Amino acid sequence: MTATPFRPIGRRRAFEDVILQVEDAIADGLLGQGDRLPPERELAQSLGVSRGSVREALRVLEAFGVLAARRGRGAGAGSTVTAEHNGLAGLLRIYASLLKVPLSDLVELRVAIEAMTARAAAARRDAPAVHDAEERDAFLQADTEFHVALATASGNVLAPLLMEALREAIARQMRAAFAAVEDWDATRARILADHRQIAERVREGDADGAAAAVERHIRGFYELLHAGPRVDGGTPKGSSGTDRGGDG
């Protein structure tokens, strides 16, 4: 049998230790993106657990976005280590719902993160592209891409993951707010103008100006959201960050 980074398990619930061993193997550099895990049977034998425990652990890791599983048989089947899916986004959305996190808390956290990324992007003069779309859902997608691109331009690897997670936590609220806007053309023009101003400050290397522009943009958009119609049985849309959609 070929060498394996895994060892037999003798404590806790078996599937939890399978998860911890995969985590340790990644942390130790023994597994990386694109690496394929051994087949379930072989992995179960190496770890000294049942195939059911291995299968349960792999499903959890797949939900976390750590593994991508291809069903079936043959050379292409099995679980591969990946980072293409941001599992943090779904977890934050669930915790935000469970803990009834106020929208204001998410706004403050987002302002702090985006001000930091705007400053860093300006230092690199790496301005994100600004894209437009007439249809509301398409515009929300373009809006998402702008803010994630700004986070990516900061050079901080964790920033885009946090940005995606924060947006996911309030996404449905934002989609409802966009759907309720009566003067869509004016709202869209306002958001685009904000995006262009942020991008211009970044392009000029104006860190303070970029941070100020992004904070005005975020707070202004959430004021629009908070003033919108009620959703979910009469709850004001500014009350908590619990749903899915896009944001400004």
Q: What is the mean pLDDT of each run of 10 residues along the chain (248 residues)?
A: 62 83 91 89 90 91 85 65 82 88 89 96 97 92 94 96 88 82 90 97 98 95 63 37 42
- Return residue ranges of the chain for CATH 1.10.10.10: 14-81
Question: For residue 74, what pLDDT is reported?
Answer: 55
- Rounded to an integer, what distance in angstroms lies between the CA atom of residue 177 and that of residue 227? 9
Span 89-226: which CATH code?
1.20.120.530
In sequence order, the β-bridge partners of residue 231 are: 235
Contacts of 99 (CB under 8 A, 6+ apart): none
- Numbers of helices and strands, H then E, in the chain: 10, 2
Question: For residue 232, what pLDDT is reported?
Answer: 34
- 217 membership: H or E segment, kind and range: helix 207-226
3-state secondary structure of 78: strand
Q: At what angle do helices 207-226 and 171-180 cross, to 10 degrees?
A: 70
- Return residue ranges of the chain for CATH 1.20.120.530: 89-226
Amino acid at 154: S
Q: At what angle do helices 51-63 and 14-27 cross, to 10 degrees?
A: 60
Question: For residue 230, what pLDDT is reported?
Answer: 34
Question: For residue 247, what pLDDT is reported?
Answer: 47
Q: How many residues does the chain have?
A: 248
Span 14-81 CATH architecture: Orthogonal Bundle (1.10)
3-state secondary structure of 67: strand
HSE-CB for 196 with a 13 A CA cutoff: 8
